[in-house]
Structure 1
Amino acid sequence: MAGHRHHEPHGDDLLAAAKATLERSGEQWTAMRANVFATLSGFDKPASAYDIAEAVSRAEGRRVAANSIYRILDLFVAANLALRVESANAYVANAHPGCRHDCIFLVCDGCGSTTHFDDDSLTGGLRSAASASGFVVERPVVEVRGRCAECAAAGMAQSGQSTH
């Protein structure tokens, strides 16, 4: 794969990287934005604005409207702190917010897990093909639907097929 390796911060380091990235974009890192990012990064699958609003509401002990969460998520996507899984209308925290790449997602139809990876040669080829046809590319998003290794193995086991 023609990608490259990232140092992917976790926990407090990821929050610090997100804060620094947002502030470099000229935006403020408010307590609500910090809570939304921390909540989003805590999900193990793409989360909807409603999922995030519910979790933040529980944590803050007050109702937080999904509309407020959508506005923050739009800001996060624009600042590269979050990535939007288009087909699921859901979001994932960007594990390397200081680095911009086109989105490539592997979306499991079995368990809903979503893996993001970078392959600049693949997305560069898409950009080149689009440009060659006169299309101005703003933000390519590639989503590949299928089954993750665990769901594929479980499906084969249920059907009596060997995984080898």
Structure 2
Amino acid sequence: MPVHDHHEHHGHDLTQAAQATLEKSGEQWTAMRERVFEALAGFDKPASAYDIAEAVSKAEGRRVAANSVYRILDLFVGSNLARRVESANAYVANAHPDCLHDCIFLVCDSCGQTTHLDDDTITKNVRSAAKTAGFSPVRPVIEVRGKCADCD
């Protein structure tokens, strides 16, 4: 299966890659954006804006509104720092924010674990089918619901 070749970042390296990508797009990397990104990256499953707001609130020792987190997450998605798992209304940090491509998510209905796959052949075919149907795809969202190997 053809896969997209890229370098995945982890930990502090991921935060630095996210900062560099955001600043390259002309946006500022603020302390709050860093806290939101680090909270998002700290989850092992897709996290909602409320989950992230709660994590940042605990770390900050003050209440952080989910609306503020939503605005930052929208910026992150638009800047390729995060991906939105549509069916769960949740987000995951993009482990390779310096690389733009379409994603496929495998979402476990039992435990919520979400696996991110890159397969440019599939997403290219989806884009091509959309164009053939007279549709201009902006951001294909491919999610496969089922059970992961641990829950099966």
User: Could you give the per-residue CA deviations for residues 15-39 of structure 1, whole angstroms, max 9, x where no partner exists?
Assistant: 0000000001100000000000000
Q: Secondary structure at the match of 1:149?
A: coil
Q: Which amino acid aligns with 2:96?
A: H
2:38 maps to which residue?
38
2:112 maps to which residue?
112
Displacement of 1:7: 1.7
Which residues of structure 1 form unaligned runs of 5+?
153-164
1:67 maps to which residue?
67
The structure carrying a bigger helix percent of its residues is 1
57-66 vs 3-12, greater mean Cα deviation: 3-12
Which residues of structure 2 form unaligned runs of 5+?
none
1:91 aligned onto 2:91: yes
Identity %: 74
Displacement of 1:113: 0.3
2:13 maps to which residue?
13
1:161 maps to which residue?
none
Displacement of 1:131: 0.1
1:47 maps to which residue?
47
Displacement of 1:5: 3.2
Displacement of 1:103: 1.8
RMSD between superposed Cα atoms in Å: 0.6
Distance, in Å, in 2 between the alignment partners of 1:103 and 1:140 is 8
Moved over 2 A (4+): none
After TM superposition, the score normalised by the length of structure 2 is 0.98
After TM superposition, the score normalised by the length of structure 1 is 0.91
Displacement of 1:4: 2.7
Distance, in Å, in 2 between the alignment partners of 1:147 and 1:101 is 25
Distance, in Å, in 2 between the alignment partners of 1:131 and 1:141 is 15
Q: Secondary structure at the match of 1:15?
A: helix
Distance, in Å, in 1 between the alignment partners of 2:125 and 2:8 is 26
Displacement of 1:147: 0.5
Distance, in Å, in 2 between the alignment partners of 1:143 and 1:77 is 17
2:77 maps to which residue?
77
Q: Which amino acid aligns with 1:3?
A: V
2:139 maps to which residue?
139
